[in-house]
Amino acid sequence: MDIRQPSPLMPGDAVGIAAPASPFDRAAFESGCRIVESLGFKPVFSEDVFASHSFFAGSDRLRARLLNAFFAEPGIRGIWTVRGGYGFLRILPLLDYSLIRANPKVIIGCSDISAGLNTICRNCGISTVHGPMIASLANADKATLASVISLVSGGSLPVLEAAGPVIACGKAEGPVMGGNLTTLCHMLGTPYEPDFKGAVLFLEDIGEKPYRIDRMMFQMKLAGVLEKIVGVCLGTFVNCGELSSVYKIFENTFKYTGVPVLAGFQAGHSFPNLSFPIGLSALLDTDAGTLTYTPTASGR
């Protein structure tokens, strides 16, 4: 499937603020909306965004209805999610993919929002944005804000630089898929499993001990994911133990496979949290230490 890029956001555009996962801190929400305004956009939200049901920001049907409504509303030009946590997986069967496909819009998020970013990309042929969320914007550094505003406003496709190390040498090109490792593993074997064929796989996580990361990577191996991908980019692994132990897991996982693996990308659960498109093609080059997005006929 050819992946389309939604129209870029323009100054003054209305951006829907959606909470498809966990509840959030009201003060962080308000601070994030002020940042959105400072970036030149108009944040729009329903009072229903503050709903709470169990450990979700409202019932499954409410969260899905609000998200579908933003895609349906012509005046809303983009969608920015508030926070992750847990919950987007539950509303995947309730989203109107025909509606979304007919009304492509920028949608931004990370962490648990990875479930929606990858599913919308696969089911609707629309690139999505792995980037910072509303509840974190007040703490975001200049690099994080500059990165997301450039990407959603139609700037040049990004070139992401990694701090290293190189875990397995090589070059690979393909659509960038992935996000939060834990979330992706929960999608395996479901109708919403991302399309990993020929993909450069991006992974990050937070609060997972090394043995659990090893378990999840072995689950991916048993599910056949690692036979499909052409390269791996590693973002931040916050509070996941010694990074050397985490990187050793990936070294052992991809030993003898010929799949290049590059670590140290500034994306995930820390700052800078640089933004990049899910679904568009990029070249991973471990010699250069970069992930370079490559324009296509259907892209910029």
pLDDT tens figures, 90-138: 999 999 999 999 999 999 999 999 999 999 999 999 999 999 999 999 9
Render pLDDT for 77-103 as a digit per residue (tens, 0 to 9).
999 999 999 999 999 999 999 999 999
Chain mean pLDDT for the chain: 96
Interval 27-68: pLDDT, tens = 999 999 999 999 999 999 999 999 999 999 999 999 999 999
Average pLDDT over residues 172-178: 98
Where do the domains of the chain lie, and which CATH numbers do they carry? Answer: 14-152 (3.40.50.10740), 159-293 (3.50.30.60)
Report the catalytic residues.
111, 204, 269
Give the model's pLDDT for residue 83: 97
Residues 6+ apart with CB under 8 A from 131: 108, 109, 110, 147, 148, 151, 273, 274, 275, 276
